[in-house]
Structure 1
Amino acid sequence: MKPVVSGRPDWAVGTCIGREWSRSVLTDRVRAAIRHRVDLVEFDPVSEAVRDDIRVLITGWGTPPLTGDVLDRLPALELVLHAAGSVRGIVTGAVWARGVRVSTAASANAVSVADFTYAQVHLSLKNVWRLALDARAAGGPVPRTGVRGVDGATIGLVGLGHIGRLVARRLAEHDLRVLAYDPFARPDEAAGLGVELAGLPAVIGGSDVLTLHAPHNDATHHMISTAELDLMPPHSTLLNTARGGLVDHDALVEFLTRRRDVFAVLDVTEPEELPAGHPLFRLGNALVTPHIAGSLGTDEARLGDLAAAELVRFLEGDPLEHEVNEDRLALSA
């Protein structure tokens, strides 16, 4: 059925974002904008009866997987608008099997991750975290040592997807060399970003800061383990804002204990959260943050804005700008 082009639709948009995020992502302003065009209703995917009036479902953090049982209660569903990052946690095979289209606000979330990464690159090259932790441990001032500086540094990107490209664009503003490992990246695209493609060992071994932006799947699970960590140059930094499973944490603890000159900044871990007392919380050359790189606080509203804009395109019969398919999903973070 072709989306309504004019007039008010006789169907509804459902939303089933978790309570913690339902108002910060779908703000009053966004809700009003949607209701101006089409009815907006709450949908409980666990206990709701059949809703044959919902053709579009807005999902996000806190939405359970869209299994066959859930979809049975949404027989008219045509489109899922995911107002968060990756759709991997909610999109099941049943979604694709029933021909339901999927769009994600991952590109809006990527902006926050790229900004966080960009900031951490600068802080790492200034040796900020090590000096701060050393001062805390000493209970007083420490020598101003280990400051590499930004100009002339080499940054390594593992993954040149949406976030990796955003990071590369931010880094292009500085006198930096950027290396990248991504077996799916096109050489012309990398060249346009000012990025040099290389094999993983060369990227790891040549980078003052190595930052991870790859998807986590069978092929990338623990892609950074003992052999790879041993390639890291003296006084370099490992930064992970992607997925904890990319890094073998047992190997990382052993490596950081042995190589005190290397620092690790981990915004994602395996498992997430790490148990209390984990060695990474105690090491003087590691910093663990609680998965804050993505959209949080007021940044969450941009996810709802993107979903609302995508809904307008659907209503007008225009192509969606952020649609994903099953094949593309396998390559996303």
Structure 2
Amino acid sequence: MGSWKVVVTDFDYADVHPEEEVLDRLGITLIKAQCRSEADVIEICKDADGVLTQYAPFTREVIEQLDKCKVISRYGIGVDTVDLAAATEKGIIVSNVTDYCIDEVSDHAMAFLLACARKTVVYNQAVKQGVWDYKVGMPMFRLRGRALGLVGLGRIPQQVARKAQAFGMRVIAYDPYLPEHVARDLNVELVDLNTLCEQADFISIHTPLTEATRGFIGPEQFRRMKPEAVIINTARGPIINEQAMINALESGAIAGAGLDVLEQEPIPADHPFMKMDQVILNPHAAWHSNEAQEELKRKVAENVVDVLSGYWPRYLVNREVREKVKLKEKSPTSE
């Protein structure tokens, strides 16, 4: 029971008390690290039975060195830091937490939308600089009747759709994997990506980062957008071709952006966005609330406890691993 080795490779939280409380069910003492490189991860995780990880790289080279690992559990929804194919080949379960921060991220996307629509940040900056003039926010358009385009229509953007509709917005979405009846029940029209870019006044990104979505919103998409369009990203920075977005903003091809995520985080001090008043920047904070953080930390540890106890975790990413690993399904009473 107490012989398992579980490592948290890296974390930017004040403590890992919720994780430790969960792992204590198996008598596990969590080993804390702050790995930054592949070599760091290999050194401390080579003989680990389970891993909790935030940003540390789990490349193929790393995974091939994990001799005992049964589960890699990632803080968050995205798993772009883990080579899923390599983990599956090695028989390692990869898990995440797909149902946390849904309220937080959808609220944050709407906060960007409203701030850009009503120019609240522009007005705030102007007033603090001694300019009391509503005209600094021009042009400004009524939100009701405007079109919001959602790139991806999973759990978070479905909440965004409901919240935007409460403001009288028309919602369209691009999601080739979503059953049409789900969109229909939400009163959301499914369209192709080109149509979304051409029709939307606000475009909000909600797809995971994969090789297929890296640079997904690029020059062609920006060329199709309205000059008054605003793009919002609370997903992952590399989904948008950042140079193409810079070009579109500098040329006036689009009106603005609300960005919680970027290609490089933290953003360099000399980045063009830092001088653009039409761009609102946040430090990858959309996920955060006290409640969301507590929930995430507890659930990421529960994934590890499930696997080490012989059960499939609630949040299984690489489902193909079922062909290599034999575990039990948890009954409702064992939750």
- TM-score bracket, normalised by the shorter chain, equals 0.7 to 0.9
Please point out which of 174, 179, 188 is paired with 2:172.
179
Secondary structure of 2:134's counterpart equals coil
Please state whether the residue corresponding to 1:47 is helix, strand or coil: helix
Relative to 1, partners in 2 of residues 1:87 and 1:219: Cα closer, same or farther, differing over 3 Å? closer
Q: Tell me, in whole angstroms, the C-alpha distance in 1 between the residues paired with 2:83 and 2:309.
A: 25
Aligned match of 1:142 in 109, 120, 133?
133
Q: 1:186 to 1:50 in 2, by over 3 A?
A: closer
Matched, 1:31 2:33: no
The reply to whether residue 257 of structure 1 matches residue 246 of structure 2 is: no
Match in the other structure for 1:198: 191
Match of 2:330 in 1: none
Q: Within 5 A, what are the aligned runs for 1:84-233?
A: 84-91=76-83, 93-135=85-127, 139-143=130-134, 145-233=138-226
Q: Percent identical across equivalent pairs?
A: 22
Alpha carbons 1:102, 1:325 under 8 Å: kept: yes
Question: In 2, distance between residues paired with 1:175 and 1:261?
Answer: 23
Go from structure 1 to structure 2 and tell me whether the alpha carbon gap of 1:74 and 1:43 turns closer, same or farther (over 3 Å shift).
farther
3-state SS of paired residue (2:288): coil
8 Å CA contact 1:48–1:73 kept in 2: the answer is no
CA–CA distance in 2 between the matches of 1:327 and 1:155? Answer: 35
Larger CA deviation: 81-90 vs 316-325: 316-325
Cα offset, 1:186, TM superposition: 1.7
Structure 1 runs not aligned, ≥5 long: 1-8, 329-333
Q: CA deviation at 1:282?
A: 1.1
In the alignment, is the contact (CA less than 8 A) between 1:130 and 1:263 conserved in 2?
Answer: no
Quick one: distance in 1 between partners of 2:63 and 2:245?
40
- Report the RMSD for the aligned CA atoms in angstroms: 3.2
TM-score (norm 1): 0.79
Structure 2 distance, partners of 1:30, 1:128, is 39
Other-structure match for 1:284: 277
- Name the stretch that deviates more: 290-299 or 179-188: 290-299
Match of 1:47 among 20, 43, 50: 43
- Tell me the amino acid that sits aligned with residue 89 of structure 1: T
- Equivalent pairs counted in the alignment come to 312
Tell me the CA shift for residue 158 of structure 1: 0.9
Instruction: Describe the shift of the 1:256–1:67 C-alpha distance in structure 2 as closer, same or farther (beyond 3 A).
Output: closer
Offset from partner CA, 1:149-182 (integer Å, 9 cap, x none)? 4433321101223432332244344432110012
CA contact (8 A) 1:127 1:146 kept: no
Q: Partner of 2:228 in structure 1? A: 235
Deviation at 1:218, TM superposition (A): 4.1
Q: Specify the alignment match of 2:314 in structure 1.
A: 321
1:84 and 1:241 mapped to 2: Cα distance? 13
Q: Which runs of 5+ in 2 are unaligned?
A: 34-40, 322-335
* Kept after mapping to 2: 8 A contact 1:256/1:262: yes
Distance 2:63 2:228 in 1: 51
2:10–2:32 CA contact under 8 A, matched in 1: no
Distance 1:48 1:211, change over 3 A: closer
Shift in Å at residue 271 of structure 1?
3.5
Is it true that 1:304 corresponds to 2:297 in the alignment? yes
Q: CA deviation at 1:66?
A: 5.9
The answer for the alignment partner of 1:293 in structure 2 is 286
Give the corresponding residue for 1:331: none
| Change in 2 beyond 3 A, CA 1:221/1:18 | closer
CA distance in 2, matches of 1:326, 1:317: 16
Aligned partner of residue 148 in structure 2, secondary structure = strand
TM-score (norm 2): 0.78
